[in-house]
A and B are shown apart, each in its own frame.
Chain A
């Protein structure tokens, strides 16, 4: 039976580059896909594009492509990525420039567009926002981006036209991994069970090292060998949709039913209804069988018909968050930290009464991650760090939080040290559903 090997080149925008190069060189791959978009990434990219129309794509694109494109050409590996972010066209042109520099004559570089709905966002003003349950028009703050989660369609068109490299903006994460299988095996786009399996494969690959022991290691309970040179995962998928997950021999990390169990449940809700633009996948009966060292066969995924809608992610200028931190150590540090917080509460109320939308007071080392009021934190650590964050509609008010934290140096409890402060301009993300006919992918191909 025909089978192909698909590697995972990145699990997030800033992911490590070396494991992807190892995969291209030693993974015996047919494809490598890089997943580089978090929820807010495109909104930030869109702002960069406004300032400079040649920017707005992934900040590591050049660094990655300088190394990956020549290697992919040499080893006959096709590369697919959503590193185009808010500007896939500019990203593709940059790739052409890099390919020319390396003399990769004949390389076809495609960009997929159609996810950007900002120019037509006005027509959705009555659409309900998931997070607020109110119409989009009621969203506070200027909308800076609107991107539909596209499916495999655009990537397939690019591959059909002979693309060696496919650069997209927003597409569903599993799609960039599943598209090669659909293309190579000629799966019908309504063969829901196969798309369910392909989606499960994509889901296991889309976070890079999280399938091979990354974000898993727990000394003494879940020991992982070779974390320092952790490898990224490979899927070996057959024409009938059956597949296994493995890694390059000699690469660090491990692939076991246990590492994959954590990843299959990662960022899913109802396992029987995993919604993607291409299929509603069912992971409930998933089963892992380790047939060789670092080689796990994955079975049991199915699928049913996709929905009529696309998820569309809206970026908007939300607020300013100011935060500051200061440490206390040695005997009595916890009491001094508590005193610092009392002082800060009083001073913030004094300098900006009622002007913060929200404030959070933490003692790092005690209750910053878990603030259940009943949770134990009575044992005094050897050091603690006070952290205060405040949300406001203006930068001037938000700035007051870090400034007051820093002022604890000379105006607070004894021994405060290591203060830091920052204020961030926050772009938040909200979601709506749109008619899938409103976001049609189109493909442009550049030949080097």
Chain B
């Protein structure tokens, strides 16, 4: 199953740091997301793209996880060579992860 089936996401950027949320549609799936979508798995999913560490935070009442990824934006929005300088497309990419 892809995360896309059970969760939604939005990406934000600050400097060279990207944050990607993962929010369960159904609160019943939140525990499973916490178990399956570890920072290590997310780091592996973003192989070659995110150079720094990935830290995960939790917002339990809204069934959300927040992945904060360092050195993720090719030096930052203002100097990235990517088409997507903000990394805004990362949310859709996270939802493509198989669990």
- Number of interchain pairs (Cβ within 8 Å): 134
- B72 lies within 8 A of chain A by Cβ: no
Q: Residue B16 contacts which of A131, A218, A283, A318 (CB distance < 8 angstroms)?
A: A131
Least Cβ–Cβ distance between A255 and chain B, in angstroms: 15
Number of interface residues of A (CB under 8 A): 56
**For window 130-149 of chain A, which residues contact chain B by CB distance below 8 Å?**
130-131
Q: Give B10's nearest chain A residue, CB to CB.
A: A262
The CA of A261 and the CA of B10, in the complex, are separated in Å by 10
A221-B48 in contact given A257-B62, A265-B21 (Cβ < 8 Å): no
- A266 lies within 8 A of chain B by Cβ: yes
Least Cβ–Cβ distance between B82 and chain A, in angstroms: 7
Number of interface residues of B (CB under 8 A): 40
Among A64-72, A152-160, A426-434, the stretch that binds chain B is A426-434
A218-B83 in contact given A265-B23, A300-B61, A372-B48 (Cβ < 8 Å): no
Q: Residue B12 contacts which of A268, A286, A288, A318 (CB distance < 8 angstroms)?
A: A268
Interchain CB contact under 8 A, B12 and A429: no
- A319 lies within 8 A of chain B by Cβ: yes
Interchain CB contact under 8 A, B76 and A429: yes
The CA of A131 and the CA of B78, in the complex, are separated in Å by 12
Interchain CB contact under 8 A, B61 and A372: no
Interchain CB contact under 8 A, B83 and A261: no
The CA of A368 and the CA of B81, in the complex, are separated in Å by 10
Q: Give B12's nearest chain A residue, CB to CB.
A: A267
**For window 3-32 of chain A, which residues contact chain B by CB distance below 8 Å?**
none
- A76 lies within 8 A of chain B by Cβ: no
**For window 217-251 of chain A, which residues contact chain B by CB distance below 8 Å?**
218, 221-222
Q: Other than the known A40-B78, A262-B8, what 13 A-B pairs have Cβ atoms closer than 8 Å?
A: A210-B10, A218-B8, A262-B23, A263-B10, A265-B12, A266-B21, A269-B68, A270-B68, A283-B59, A284-B60, A359-B81, A362-B83, A371-B48
**A contact set with B: CB distance below 8 Å:** 39-40, 130-131, 210, 215-216, 218, 221-222, 257-258, 261-272, 283-288, 300, 318-319, 321, 323, 358-360, 362, 364, 368-374, 387, 389-391, 426-429, 431
